[in-house]
């Protein structure tokens, strides 16, 4: 692994984690193109997720500070006998994030072997990218709903969490699927985008923790400290750019632009896997 390859993989991870084009699918394809063995890329991929987590922390720092503050206040009130009170926006938002994370986590645990097997099939990755493009196209053709956080219910969070669970499939975009799921539930686009990025935090963090043990078993290989730091920095900076870019595209109702890209890349991957 060289510094240049670390930068390339970091940029790919940061951009594709949040742009609706599938990070897992792109990293798998990039791994083959850069001739990086699978047993050596696992640990580095886990490390790159740290950079993308920092991206969400940076862009949504105000939301996160308030969520953490209200979380500890709720615990204090429960322990002092005041009961559980969801009397403000951030308490409700925190509960909904937890509810959305449950089906994602269960799907990841119960169907881990099935999803893992998909990484070995370029054909499945290509088809999944085409599916991602189709979902984005359908989402942009839908009229933006009017449902805001006050009107959001627990079953809305569960529904979106299931959509996020399917994104474990390489080639299915996590951000794309959760935004599409939110729009299906009638959310306005601002809430759909905000909720998508906030529920990515426990999803990415959980996946990173689960994968770290396996990655450490495979060993660090040739990954020196400078290479790891360069990769994290590249994924962080490109992640911040990707989040802000996606927000801009959604506000301008140009989400379907990514459909053309995922269709094209998916078709190329399918053709290459066949020939």
DSSP output for 48-102: HHHHHHHHHHHHTHHHHHHHHHHHHHHHHHHHTT------SHHHHHHHHHHHHHH
Would you say residue 184 has pLDDT above 90? no
HSE-CB at 141 with a 13 A cutoff on CA atoms is: 7
Q: What is the mean pLDDT of the chain?
A: 85
Confidence of residue 180 (pLDDT cuts 50, 70, 90): confident
Question: What percentage of the chain exceeds 90 in pLDDT?
Answer: 36
| pLDDT at res. 216 | 62
Q: What distances in angstroms separate CA 27 from CA 15, 215, 260, one per listed residue?
A: 11, 16, 19
- Cβ atoms of 235 and 11 within 8 Å: the answer is yes
Would you say residue 253 has pLDDT above 90? no
Neighbours of 59 (CB within 10 A): 18
Residues 194-216 have a mean pLDDT of 80
Mutual orientation of helices 89-110 and 61-79 as an angle, nearest 10°?
90
Contacts for 167 with CB less than 8 Å, ≥ 6 apart: 22, 173, 174, 176, 177, 178
Confidence of residue 207 (pLDDT cuts 50, 70, 90): confident
Whole-structure pTM value: 0.84
Would you say residue 49 has pLDDT above 70? yes
Would you say residue 54 has pLDDT above 80? yes
Residues 204-218 have a mean pLDDT of 71
Instruction: Name the one residue in this structure whose structure tokens are 């992640």.
Output: 239
Nearest to 232 by CA among 24, 52, 112, 31: 52
Give CA–CA dist 71/75, Å, rounded.
6
b/e sequence 16-26, b meaning 16+ C-beta within 10 Å: bbbbbbbbbbb
- Cβ atoms of 146 and 186 within 8 Å: the answer is yes
Residues 231-237 have a mean pLDDT of 94
């Amino acid at each position: 692994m060289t510094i240049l390859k670390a930068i390339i993989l970091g940029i790919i991870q940061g951009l594709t984690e949040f742009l609706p084009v599938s990070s897992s699918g792109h990293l798998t394809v990039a791994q083959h193109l850069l001739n990086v063995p699978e047993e050596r890329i696992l640990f580095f991929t886990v490390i790159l997720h740290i950079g993308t987590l920092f991206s969400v922390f940076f862009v949504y720092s105000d939301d996160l500070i308030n969520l953490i503050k209200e979380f500890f206040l709720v615990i204090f009130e429960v322990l002092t006998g005041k009961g559980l009170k969801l009397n403000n926006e951030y308490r409700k938002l925190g509960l909904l994030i937890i509810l959305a994370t449950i089906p994602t986590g269960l799907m990841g645990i119960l169907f881990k072997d099935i999803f893992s097997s998909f990484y070995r099939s370029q054909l499945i990755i290509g088809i999944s990218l085409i599916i991602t493009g189709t979902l984005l196209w359908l989402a942009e053709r839908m009229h933006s709903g009017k449902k805001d956080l006050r009107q959001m219910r627990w079953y809305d969070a569960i529904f979106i969490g299931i959509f996020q669970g399917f994104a474990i499939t390489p080639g299915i975009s996590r951000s794309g699927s959760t935004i599409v799921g939110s729009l299906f539930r009638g959310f306005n686009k601002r809430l759909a985008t905000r909720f998508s990025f906030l529920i990515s935090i426990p999803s990415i963090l959980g996946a990173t923790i689960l994968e770290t043990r396996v990655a450490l078993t495979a060993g660090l290989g040739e990954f020196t400290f400078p290479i790891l730091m360069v990769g994290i920095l590249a994924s962080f900076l490109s992640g911040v750019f990707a989040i802000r870019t996606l927000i801009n595209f959604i506000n301008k109702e140009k989400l379907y632009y990514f459909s053309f890209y995922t269709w094209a890349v998916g078709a190329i991957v399918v053709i290459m896997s066949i020939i």
